[in-house]
Amino acid sequence: MNSLQRFLADTRGVDTIPLKMVFYLSIASMIILMTAFSWNNISPVVDDAHVDKQLEDVALGISSIQNGYARDISSNDVEGSMGVLDLSLPEHVDYVSFGVDPDPDMDGNLTNTEWAVENNNILCSYSEGFKTRVHIDGDTIEFRKGISNGGDVWVIDDDGSALGHDKGVVLEGPISGEFVFELVFVEGEGKYTLSHF
- Asked if the structure places residue 9 within a domain, the reply is no
- Asked if the structure places residue 29 within a domain, the reply is no
Closest CA to 80 of 169, 144, 2: 144
- Asked if the structure places residue 60 within a domain, the reply is yes
Question: How many structural domains does the chain have?
Answer: 1
β-partners of residue 177 are 87
Express each pLDDT in 157-168 by its tens digit: 777 555 667 788
Q: Specify the pTM.
A: 0.71
- Asked if the structure places residue 11 within a domain, the reply is no
**Is residue 115 within 8 Å of 163, Cβ to Cβ?**
yes
Q: What is the pLDDT of residue 14?
A: 61
**Is residue 63 within 8 Å of 136, Cβ to Cβ?**
yes
Question: Can you tell me the mean pLDDT for 126-134?
Answer: 82
User: Distance between CA 51 and CA 88 in Å, rounded?
Assistant: 8
- Asked if the structure places residue 177 within a domain, the reply is yes
Residue 55: give the domain boundaries: 45-195
- Asked if the structure places residue 17 within a domain, the reply is no
**Is residue 74 within 8 Å of 193, Cβ to Cβ?**
no
Indicate whether 30 pLDDT > 60.
yes
**Is residue 70 within 8 Å of 191, Cβ to Cβ?**
yes
Express each pLDDT in 48-100 by its tens digit: 778 888 889 888 888 888 888 888 887 777 788 888 988 888 888 888 999 88
Q: What is the pLDDT of residue 134?
A: 87
- Asked if the structure places residue 40 within a domain, the reply is no
Express each pLDDT in 109-129 by its tens digit: 887 888 888 888 888 888 877
Indicate whether 130 pLDDT > 90.
no
Closest CA to 73 of 197, 179, 188: 188
